[in-house]
Amino acid sequence: MTDLIAIANEHLTARIHPFGAELWSLTDASGGEYMTDADPAFWTAHAPLLFPIVGALANDTLRLGGQAYTLPKHGFARRNPFTVVESAADRVVLRLVDDARTREVYPFAFQLDMTFAVEGMTLRKTATVHNPGDVPLPFSFGYHPAFAWPLPGGADKAAHRIVFEQDEPQPIRQIEKATGLLLPDGVPTPVQGREMPLDAELFRADALIWTDLASRSLSYGAEGGAWLDIAFPESPMLGIWQVPGARYVCIEPWQGYADPAGYTGDFRDKPGVVILPAGESRSFRMDVTVRPV
């Protein structure tokens, strides 16, 4: 197996796999692990990056100007090696660029840089999409980290909850399991004001999805145990998911989401898709601040 890339300061150590630029581990100075145990009975991923799509396309088909391309769920960034372009003790930058294989399924030039940096008790992750081509670049991007549930510190799993920055009274969306597409009707939110107690039953129908989130930050944890403060200032959408019974919960800031059921339009017209002009860049940050016991 390729060696993990470690970055660290006196408070935190993050370990990143260059395949997919995927965060595999985040530990504090006492050795407490804040990421998934990746139990193969549930899900072996850790924190895949979702690019150039988030979620599934209808029939895995990317439609562009009358042409059709096959692009599986969540895109290809998570299934490609990134190259290290900058490295320091507490910071690393990894890069993915288009090649002949990516252009067969996504006919655009792109550069995706993924920066990881530890600053005090915070792991700062920044994804920057650059358009080096001469035509507008349509894309979506999402984070998909699986955090330990329960977190270190000894709090009971059933006591864990998510506390949003703002009240979130709006209905949430769900996907159709058979197709992975976004169902048309919302369902009542499990958020009570700003708080959502966590329970595996929430995920029996798959992910909980907010397509128009008011908050740009949240906290996850339990009284008597550790907490994570998670900020995602550029991401207006969110998914929360687990395989019921697993020892993780995915907290996923997104720009974009699965095709709505019945959508047959051009990818560039789909809600949540960014159209990036030639020569320009756009970044998406996700800060994870650890509050140990």
Q: Where are the domains of the chain?
A: 5-155+243-291
CB 30 within 8 A of CB 151: no
Helix H, strand E, coil C: the string for 126-189 is EEEEECCCCCCEEECEEECCEEECCCCCCCCHHHCEEEECCCCCCCEECECCCCCCECCCCECC
**CA distance linking residue 235 with residue 126, whole number of Å:** 12
- 5-155+243-291 maps to which CATH number? 2.70.98.10
Chain centre to alpha carbon of residue 64 = 25
Report phi then psi at 111, rounded to 5.
-135, 125
Instruction: Quote the pLDDT of residue 266.
Output: 97
Residue with tokens 């769900």: 174
Instruction: Quote the pLDDT of residue 238.
Output: 98
Give 261: exposed, middle or buried? Use CB within 10 Å, 0-12, 13-18, 19+. middle
- Assessment of whether the complete model's pTM goes beyond 0.95: yes
Strands (E), 5-159: 5-8, 12-17, 22-28, 49-50, 61-64, 67-70, 83-88, 91-97, 111-119, 122-130, 137-139, 141-143, 146-148
Give 109: exposed, middle or buried? Use CB within 10 Å, 0-12, 13-18, 19+. middle
Q: How many CA atoms lie within 13 A of 278 on its CB side?
A: 4
> Tokens in use for 137?
């670049």
Residue with tokens 């990516």: 102
- The vertex-39 CA angle with 160 and 71, nearest 5°, equals 100
- Mind listing the pLDDT tens digit for each residue in 266-284? 999 999 999 999 999 999 9
Instruction: Quote the pLDDT of residue 2.
Output: 64
| Length of the chain in terms of residues written | 293
What letter represents residue 185's amino acid? D
What letter represents residue 247's amino acid? R
Contacts 24+ apart (CB under 8 A), 98-104: 102/76, 104/69
Residue with tokens 């959508």: 263
What stretches in the chain show pLDDT beneath 50?
1
Whether residue 150 is preceded by a cis peptide bond, meaning omega within 30 degrees of 0, is: yes
Q: How many CA atoms lie within 13 A of 178 on its CB side?
A: 1
